[in-house]
Amino acid sequence: MRTAAVDWRLAAPLGIVYLALFAAPLLLLLGISLHSDQDLQQWGVDNWVKFWSDAFYRGVVWDTLRLGLAAVLATSLFAWPLAVFFCASSARTQKILLFIILLPLLTSVVIRTFAWIVILAREGLINQAVLALGLSATPLRLLQTETGLILALMQIEMPLMLLPLISVMRGLDPNLLDASRALGAGHWRSFFRVILPLSLPGWIAGATLVFASACTAFISQSVIGGARLVYLPSLIWQQAMVVYDWPFAAVCSVTLLFTVLAGVMMLNWLGRYARTD
C-alpha cells in the first residue's frame, strides 16, 4: 500500500512534464485543426471534410503508409541475412560489423540523403557503372522515383532494423539450431521454422522504428523523391510554411500522427499474437 503511493509520487514529475510538453501541444494541434478559417476565429470541421472528401489527399495518406511498408519490407529482406551472418561470426568480426552497421547513424540524415543524390543521379555512381558495363545505352532514371527513394531509405533506416534484430538473435540458444539440424531440417527450413519465429520480437521492434521513421522522413522524401511524389510530411510543411493554412496543416499532421500510430499498433498487436502462438 505504502510502496504504491511512493511509486505514484516518483512518477509524477515526469508525468507532469509529459502532460505539459507532449499532451498539451497535441491538444493544441487538434484544436487548430478544428477551425475553419486561417485566422483561427471560427470553429468547424471544414478542413477535416476537405481533406478526407478529396481523393488526392486520401491518395497522399495511402502513399505515405505504403512508403513506410515498402521500407520495412526492403530493410527486412537484407537485415535478416545480415543478422544471421552477424551471429555466426567471430567476436572480432562482430565488432567490425557492428561498427559498419552503426556508421550511418554517425552522419546526419541530411548528409546521407545528399550522398544518395551522388549515387543515384544521372551521372552518378550507379549510372556510370551501368553505362560502363553496357547494361543500358541511356542513363537509368533513379533519382525522383519511388524505387530510388526506397533504396535510399533502406540504407538510411537499416540500423533501426538491424540493432533490435541482432540483440534478440544473439540471445537465442545456439543449441536450438543444432537440434533443428539433428532432426533433419535443412538450412532454409531451420531459418524459417526456428530462427524467424524466435527473432520475431526483434523484427517487430525494428519494423516499428523503420515504419514510423520512413513515413515521416521529410528530408529524404523531398530531396530524393522530388516534387512529383507528395507525402504527408511535405504536404504539412507546404501548408504550414508556404500557404500559411494552419488548420489544414494541423489536419494533415493529426492524420499523419494517427495513421502512423495505427500502423505501429498493428505491429504491436502482431507481436503479442506472435508470442502467444
Partner 1 sequence: MASRRLFLAGMAGALAAPSIARASGSMTAAIYPGTWDEAYREIVAPLLRQRHNVGVSFDPLFAVDQVAKVRAARGVSPFDCFVLDPGPAAAARQAGLFEPIDRRLISNAAKLPDGMLTADAATVNVQVVGICYNPKKFPEPPKSWTDLFRSPYVERLGLTGFQTTFGTVSLIEMAKAFGGSVDNIEPIFAKLREALPKVAAVATPAALPGLFQQGQIDIMYTNTNNAATLKARGVDIAFIAPTEGAITFATTLHIVKGAENKANAHRYIDVALSAEAQSKLQLSPYNMIPVNKDVQLTPNLDIKSLDELSKMVTHDWSVINPRRAAWIDRFNREITK
**Given the complex with partner 1, which of 191 and 237 has the nearer CB atom?**
237
Q: Does 234 bind partner 1 (CB under 8 A)?
A: yes
Q: Which stretch binds partner 1 (CB under 8 A): 13-21, 27-35, 81-89, 220-228?
A: 220-228
Instruction: Single out the residue of 102, 111, 243, 265 in contact with partner 1 (rule: CB under 8 A).
Output: 243
**Given the complex with partner 1, which of 84 and 152 has the nearer CB atom?**
152
**Given the complex with partner 1, which of 4 and 242 has the nearer CB atom?**
242
State in angstroms the smallest separation of the CB of 5 from partner 1. 22
The mark string for 60-99 relative to partner 1 (x by CB under 8 A, - otherwise) is: ----------------------------------------
Binding-site size, partner 1 (CB under 8 A): 28
The mark string for 113-142 relative to partner 1 (x by CB under 8 A, - otherwise) is: -x--xx--xxxx------------------
Alpha-carbon distance of 79 to 71, in angstroms, equals: 12
Q: Does 241 bind partner 1 (CB under 8 A)?
A: yes
Instruction: Single out the residue of 8, 43, 99, 244 in contact with partner 1 (rule: CB under 8 A).
Output: 244
C-alpha cell at 73: 519490407
Q: Does 238 bind partner 1 (CB under 8 A)?
A: yes
Instruction: Single out the residue of 9, 173, 242, 276 in contact with partner 1 (rule: CB under 8 A).
Output: 242
Q: Does 227 bind partner 1 (CB under 8 A)?
A: yes
In sequence order, what are the beta bridge partners of 35? 43
Written as one letter, the residue type at 206 is: G
Alpha-carbon distance of 205 to 98, in angstroms, equals: 18
**Given the complex with partner 1, which of 56 and 188 has the nearer CB atom?**
56
Q: Does 271 bind partner 1 (CB under 8 A)?
A: no
Instruction: Single out the residue of 1, 56, 174, 182 in contact with partner 1 (rule: CB under 8 A).
Output: 56
HEC readout, the chain: CHHHHHHHHHHHHHHHHHHHHHHHHHHHHHHHHCECCCCCCCECCHHHHHHHCCHHHHHHHHHHHHHHHHHHHHHHHHHHHHHHHHHHCCHHHHHHHHHHHHHHHHCCHHHHHHHHHHHHCCCCHHHHHHHHCCCCCCCCCCCCCHHHHHHHHHHHHHHHHHHHHHHHHHCCCHHHHHHHHHCCCCHHHHHHHHHHHHHHHHHHHHHHHHHHHHHCCHHHHHHCCCCCCCCHHHHHHHHHHHCCCHHHHHHHHHHHHHHHHHHHHHHHHHHHHHHHC
Q: Does 256 bind partner 1 (CB under 8 A)?
A: no
Instruction: Single out the residue of 36, 94, 144, 167 in contact with partner 1 (rule: CB under 8 A).
Output: 144
Written as one letter, the residue type at 142 is: L
Going by C-alpha positions, the residue among 259, 266, 262 that lies closest to residue 58 is: 259
Please give the residue ranges that form the binding site for partner 1 (CB under 8 A).
56, 59, 114, 117-118, 121-124, 143-144, 146, 222-223, 226-230, 234-235, 238, 240-245
